[in-house]
Structure 1
Amino acid sequence: MENKPYYHYTFAPQKLKEQRTQVEKTFRDVDQAIAKQVSHSKLPRLLEQIRKVPFDSLDSFARELKRMEVLVLLYDYPFPNESHETRRKINLILSYRYSAQVGKTAWGLFQKDPHEVFLQDLLRLIYNVDQFEFVVTNEKIRETIRIALLDRAGIVTGLIGSMISSTISTKEQINHLKIQQDVLLEKELLKGIFLKGLAKPSFVQRDGVNYITEKLERFEMDEYKELLTVYVEFRSFKEFEYAVMNQAIKRLGNPLEKAMQWDFLTPTAMEQIQKWLLQNKLKQFFEQDENNTRFDYWKNYLNQDHILDVDVIKEPKAAFIYFNRFVVVEFGIMGAAYFYHKQGFEEIIKPLSNSYKFRNSGRAKREDMLKRRYTEENGIPLFIDKHDHRGNWQPKFTQYMRNYLDGRF
């Protein structure tokens, strides 16, 4: 018998789903409009009945209500002027007459007013009925909701703790929970999650730097500084993500030029930021090198707190790398590094690089001015040595660096 190929087809009725969603929204809108229209005539009498009905008769009372009466209660929620007893009864009625419409409306109201106590009570009653199936299909997210609802400090606090401990990113969790952008719930969740999570590298890895910086950009300056403090204070500069720090400099200015904008950080944190700036300056200077060999080499000395400062000039492209007793001059094109005594460099070469003669000389002449090979000038120690970046140059450099750091020139 001839074997015929078997084809497997799947049908994903996306258009039908979209149309159904639109139809449901249209009918919800119509229901809400009608409920609002009849509310002024039906609601007073309905509330009077609810106030009088005892709790043990509330279930049967709720079953006898017409659908429109339930919708009137739903769309006029949360009745802040009613007594606690009446508001509790209304919650029970809505749970007895529960539908997905009740769940979605309550969840939407909660997003705008997440600390309303009776609204939180209603959500807990709803969870007991359908476990939030009206909004959540993911089991892990449903567990997040369950844990949050049990938190005595409130649902928002519970959500923050539960969402941080999840393996699912904040963005995915917010999408699963159908939380609208820029509503109060989203803002409070993001701030609470970031306040607890930004200190942890694992959290930043889970949520992604792009998402974090996108959300940080939306915070007002005072809150942004509060969140940046959490990020910076619990890290060394080696753990700073470029996108986070670059955003901070754009919002606050360069700390070397606008120190007052950064005075909310501790001296220890500012020290780490200064080191990150030096590292970034080195990285940008050596970015044209193949395999980042020079950057990786000098970065090690920055990590060991040996590099004190880095100064860069554009023409010729050169970097002055300051150590305690000496200065290294590197050039844009990889060739040789020149080593100078710090005193001689600061009193002779540095002033020369800022001179009128230097500015009005050609590129080659300027570079020669930075390559002075006199061991001393005017009794001031100057040139130490030059070392080429050829072959396996790193071990040779390290041997010389060890001597120079110990003062053996």
Structure 2
Amino acid sequence: MSDSITQAVVDKAVRARDASRKLAYLSTSVKNEALAAMAQALIDEAPVILEANAKDIAAGEARGLSKALLDRLLLNEARIRDMAGGLDVIINLPDPVGEVFDMVTRPNGLQVGKMRVPLGVIGMIYEARPNVTVDAAGLCLKAGNAVLLRGGTEAIHSNTTIARIIAAAAAAAGIPEGAIEFIELTDRAAVNTMLKLNDYLDVVIPRGGKALKQAVIANATVPVIETGMGNCHVFVDREADLEMAARIVINAKCQRPGVCNAAETLLVDAPVAAAFLPGILEQLKERGVEIRGCPRTRELAPWVVPATDEDWDTEYLDLILAVRVVDGLEEAVDHIFRWGTKHSEAIVTENYTRARRFLREVDAAAVYVNASTRFTDGGVFGFGAELGISTQKLHARGPMGLKDLTSTKYIIFGDGQTR
């Protein structure tokens, strides 16, 4: 069985590699026509997609998945339209492939510059979000990359159906067969094989929780771009507008708790804790949020569950919030440094100096002043859909749009120079 799984994955990777050679040089117009065909196919085949998604939802409920995870898994007509709309946005984005920049003329007359080129074949490993299948395929295609997709077991029916529909639409519009490959096998051996296909994959991008990321990093020989895990904080400074702070905290925690840019910890500066915490905690409680707080938080709200180090370290992806009272900006930054995942961090303050310090000293892909962490998103930042939010520093950081799915090569023009 293991040998057959390995061969099945390798076969798909070979097809993707072969397709990538042709895809790298396709015109923007052909790629855009394919994206438009994929978007229309999603709309036309919505009943088929919803039927497949219903199977995944039923299986998820039977397995006892949390409401937050079921929400990430759920598709409806509006979400399918949004997926199609994401492809339409990508169509209207500039094609990065072939862009020439940093061109300079050297003293010997050589013109030296860079040209943007596709990465090649991108392997995507992700969990219970069927929209990632569409986002990844669309972005990779526009950036000239083939993609080998492996979605989570929770969404296997949805992902298999979506991948089949968009791959067929892309091929009919002139995209090489194999440019969008999906691994239907749910056995972990398929992932383990994928992670070691250095001859076929140029990079692997895991998009999901801590366990997924750690497993990929520990086992991959293919280069990895880490994405997704978000233990995000909101720090309410002593000079914050407390009404603004309340709006930001509620949005960051409650608007969609099952996503990586939702806030998981609230830090409150001690001088405003008594004025701010009782009210905001009641508002959160009314919205179904479970609060886990430090001793100083519990002095102000005795009903709060005691927090442990595990709470500071947890990406809940649920209506749970850890709360800590801190003595100033430095202690807040220290807490974020120790427990954060370098995703998205926010300060609420009217003090310009402390805002600038927070921006400078907090090490994260996105750092906010007086805004919700929920804005860390490729679409919101103007990149169209995103392939994930990179939390590392090599190659790409933050929401990964089209340019982040390319590399560069040097191009040199001469007129007979020799060395």
TM-score where L is the length of structure 2: 0.22
- Greater strand content: 2
Per chain length, whose mean CA-contact separation is higher, i.e. which structure has more relative contact order (CA < 8 Å, sep 6+)?
2
- Greater helix content: 1
TM-score where L is the length of structure 1: 0.23
